[in-house]
Chain A
Amino acid sequence: MAHNPDAREALMIGTRTDGSTVRRPLSPHLQVYDMLQMSSLTSIMHRITGSIWSVGMIFFVWWLSAAAAGPEAYATVQWFFGGFIGLIMLFGLSAVVWYHTLNGVRHLVWDAGYGYDIPTTYRTGWATAIATAVMTVVTWIVAIIAWAS
Chain B
Amino acid sequence: MSEHIPAVNRQTSMQSGLGRVRGSGSARNGTHHWWMQRVTSIALLPLTIWLVFSLAVHAGDPWEVMAEWIGRPFNAVLLIVLIGIGFHHTEAGLQVVIEDYIRPERRAMVAGLVIKAICLVLGLLSALAVVRLAV
Interface assignment of B4: CB less than 8 Å from any CB of chain A: no
A56-B63 Cα distance, complex, nearest whole Å: 21
Interface residues of B in 44-63 (CB under 8 A from A): 44-45, 48-49, 52-53, 55-63
Interface assignment of A23: CB less than 8 Å from any CB of chain B: no
Interface size class of B (residues with CB under 8 A): 35 or more
Chain A interface, >50% SS class? helix
Interface assignment of B90: CB less than 8 Å from any CB of chain A: yes
Interface size class of A (residues with CB under 8 A): 35 or more
B55 CB → nearest A CB, Å:
8
17 A-B pairs whose Cβ atoms sit less than 8 Å apart in the complex: A5-B105, A6-B103, A8-B103, A27-B101, A54-B94, A61-B125, A61-B126, A65-B129, A67-B133, A68-B132, A71-B64, A74-B63, A74-B66, A75-B63, A78-B63, A82-B60, A143-B57
What is the interface of chain B, defined by CB distance below 8 A to chain A? 38, 41-42, 44-45, 48-49, 52-53, 55-64, 66-67, 70, 79, 86-87, 90, 93-94, 96-97, 100-101, 103-106, 122, 125-126, 128-130, 132-133
